[in-house]
A = this chain, B = another copy of it.
């Protein structure tokens, strides 16, 4: 019971830490979104960032994943396609659907935006040992891996 209690405590603690991280990065995210592309609404960045992290997907999946409405996502994807940031192919096995993904240019622009506004976190880990850094990357990787 001690062990399972500790376990519970740990999961709660993880929740608090993730929460703190989300709080700390929210301002950064919104500002990145606002500066992502001059011709696009902020939400475009959230779409692009998700595709950057998880790869090509159908619009409906993207909308669900980023917590946006399907119509907004659709028009946003349309604009990003005409700007050359996204490419679309017919989804295999369903001719109603398309699969969208970042073009090299889109990928580069996301990377640039992240780089541009993410300096702060680099400096935070400056004093860390390489070992700790490696482990954090590895653990986060496991946490965010698709189920």
Which A residues fall within an 8 A CB radius of B?
3, 6-7, 10-11, 13-31, 46, 49-50, 52-54, 64-67, 114-115, 118, 121-122, 124-125, 128, 130, 132-137, 139-144, 147
When chains A and B are docked, how far (Å) is the Cα of A125 from the Cα of B142? 9
B30 touches A25 (CB 8 A): no
Copies of this polypeptide in the complex: 2
- Complex Cα distance, B30 from A136, in Å, reads 26
Known: A24-B65, A28-B67. 4 other contacts (CB 8 A): A3-B130, A15-B122, A24-B53, A27-B66
Distance between Cα atoms of A49 and B21 in the complex (Å): 11
- With the chains together, A108 CA to B36 CA distance in Å? 36
A124: chain B residues within 8 A (beta carbon): 143, 147
Query: Is the beta-carbon distance between A67 and B139 smaller than 8 angstroms?
Result: no
